[in-house]
Amino acid sequence: MKFSEADAGSGYLIEGYGSGWISLSGRRYTRSLILTPSEIIEPWGPTAAADLTREHLTVIADLTPRVVLIGTGDQPTLLDPVLYAGLLERGIGVEVMTTGAACRTYNILASEGREVVAGLILEPTG
């Protein structure tokens, strides 16, 4: 899916995404990453939702967001709340959804100037 236009004043916004890829600032990423309005951290460890650990989420928590979006890949996946309990204990909101939904939600929240961090799992294709 391609987004119509990204507002550069909001920092990094996702320009497009598909199965196993995300486009940011004219570059296509094919490995899982962490995205904030001011930073792209890649690669990020998990290649599937089943690989996600508390340590992966600690990296995100250390960025001190108000809201965390966890994109679990192409399929909806429920995560054990124990995985992200540390985020909740710090008062950080957590939403778990497909990576496509996380991309759309991230752009909305970043455009609103919200302190959002997205952990986006990009599953290898092929």
Residues forming a β-bridge with 97: 71
Contact of 21 with 30, CB cutoff 8 Å: yes
**How confident is the model over 35-87, as pLDDT tens digits?**
999 999 999 999 999 999 999 999 999 999 999 999 999 999 999 999 999 99
Residues forming a β-bridge with 119: 34, 70
> Residue 125: which pLDDT band, with cuts at 50, 70 and 90?
confident
Where do we find the tokens 């340590």? 55
Query: Which domains are present in the chain?
Result: 8-120 (3.40.1230.10)
The answer, yes or no, to whether residue 9 has pLDDT greater than 80, is: no
> Residue 109: which pLDDT band, with cuts at 50, 70 and 90?
very high
